[in-house]
Amino acid sequence: MKLLLHTCCGPCFLGSWAYVSEFEVTNFFYNPNIQPEEEYRLRFENLKKAAKGKSVGILERPYNPQEHVDAISNDRSFPSRCISCYALRLEETAEQAKEMGFDAFSTTLLVSPYQLHGKLKDLGISLSEKFGVDFFYRDFRPNFRKGQALSKEMNIYRQRYCGCLLSKEAVQ
């Protein structure tokens, strides 16, 4: 199965890998939510480092944080902004999966106990119906700690905040 895997960062990729390694995986790094740009570049470079030696492709959409600013502009409170943020990233993933002839799409966000797992699952299912491409769903969360531990071993950068400036401010 050819899988387009929306990928948010190296540690989440490593945590998700056991669930998708049997497939022909292409990582799709579409994360306009990440700010500032240096942080975005750091996460992308560390995804490449995490994927080294694995038989996976990596695609990047040009970085445009304004896409995320616009997507959450109606309601920047939690959890509305996060649901809009997921919709932005997963809709693009589903659309690209359909256009590029993938069999299915999924997201490494499913590994994080800090994300709204049920919302991600529901969104994936509804986008699958909208675009006519399968959503590969598994609960990746049992491997979250493993992904963090592997990242530590491999010296992969592990971020302290989710991605947007609001989440950055929350940990300062």
From candidates 33, 46, 108, 112, binder to ligand SF4 by CB under 6 A: 33
Cβ neighbours of residue 52 under 8 Å, at least 6 residues apart?
none
- Residue 157: how many other CB atoms lie within 10 Å: 16
User: Does 81 help bind ligand SF4 (rule: CB under 6 A)?
Assistant: yes
From candidates 85, 104, 110, 111, binder to ligand SF4 by CB under 6 A: 85
Total residues contacting ligand SF4 (rule CB under 6 A)? 10
User: Does 167 help bind ligand SF4 (rule: CB under 6 A)?
Assistant: yes
Closer CB to ligand SF4, residue 76 or residue 145? Answer: 76
Closest separation in Å from C-beta 151 to ligand SF4: 19
Judged by CB under 6 A, the stretch of 49-57, 79-87, 100-108, 150-158 that binds ligand SF4 is 79-87
- Residue 55: how many other CB atoms lie within 10 Å: 8
Spatial distance between the Cα atoms of 56 and 69, rounded to a whole number of angstroms: 30
Spatial distance between the Cα atoms of 63 and 6, rounded to a whole number of angstroms: 15
H-helix or E-strand spanning residue 41:
helix 37-51
Query: What residues make contact with ligand SF4 under the rule CB under 6 A?
Result: 33, 72, 81-82, 85, 162-164, 166-167
